[in-house]
Structure formats: C-alpha cells, structure tokens
C-alpha cells in the first residue's frame, strides 16, 4: 500500500502503477457529479425528478434528509402558526 497524495490514507500501489491514479478512490471522486431523486408536488399530485448535483451539494442534500428524519419533503412556508404570533407587550 502507498499513501494517497491527497488524504494520506493507504491505497493500493497498483492503483498508481497500473492506472496512474495518485489519489485514492475517495479523493478521485471529488468533483464528480451525483444524481439524486427528488419528489415534487403534494399528496396525490407528486412526481419524481432526477437532479445532477456536485459532490458538495450531494453531501448537503443527504445531511438535510437525515435532519428531516429521512423525508425529502421541503418545509411549507407560511404554514407555521407559531411564527405569526405577535409579541406580547
Ligand atoms: Zn485520498
């Protein structure tokens, strides 16, 4: 094994000698575009869509999905009654 030039993690020497990669698999994937499936619409009127996003956006997307408990729904705006409660004086 030889160290990856980018992250110093061990990677197969064969990867450099045979394929000419100086970085490991993880590092070589940076910058690649990912496809994510999004669900649009509401209730009975939904459709799936595929979006191509950058690696960074893909990570953000997955983070947001985890924060939403695995759901890919976008929060509705103006539907939160607590945000419209006037301040008490
Ligand atoms: Zn690496």
- What is the model's pLDDT at position 30? 57
Ligand 1 center from residue 15 Cα (angstroms): 12
Ligand 1 center from residue 20 Cα (angstroms): 14
Of 32 and 58, the one with more pLDDT? 58
Ligand 1 center from residue 62 Cα (angstroms): 21
Ligand 1 center from residue 5 Cα (angstroms): 7
Query: What value does the mean pLDDT take over residues 41-70?
Result: 83
Query: What value does the mean pLDDT take over residues 56-73?
Result: 76
Ligand 1 center from residue 58 Cα (angstroms): 19
Query: What value does the mean pLDDT take over residues 27-42?
Result: 79
- What is the model's pLDDT at position 55? 72
Confidence of residue 19 (pLDDT cuts 50, 70, 90): confident
Among 62, 3, 14, 56, residue whose Cα is nearest residue 38: 62
- What is the model's pLDDT at position 75? 58
Share of residues in the chain with pLDDT > 90 (%):
24
């Amino acid at each position: 094994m030889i160290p990856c030039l980018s992250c110093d993690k061990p990677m197969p020497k064969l990867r450099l000698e045979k394929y000419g990669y100086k970085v490991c698999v993880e590092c070589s994937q940076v910058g690649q575009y990912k496809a994510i499936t999004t669900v649009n619409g509401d209730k009975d009127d939904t459709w799936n869509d595929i979006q191509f996003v950058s690696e960074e956006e893909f990570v953000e997307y997955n983070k947001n999905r985890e924060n939403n408990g695995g759901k890919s729904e976008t929060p509705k705006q103006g539907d939160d009654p607590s945000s419209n409660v006037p301040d008490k004086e």
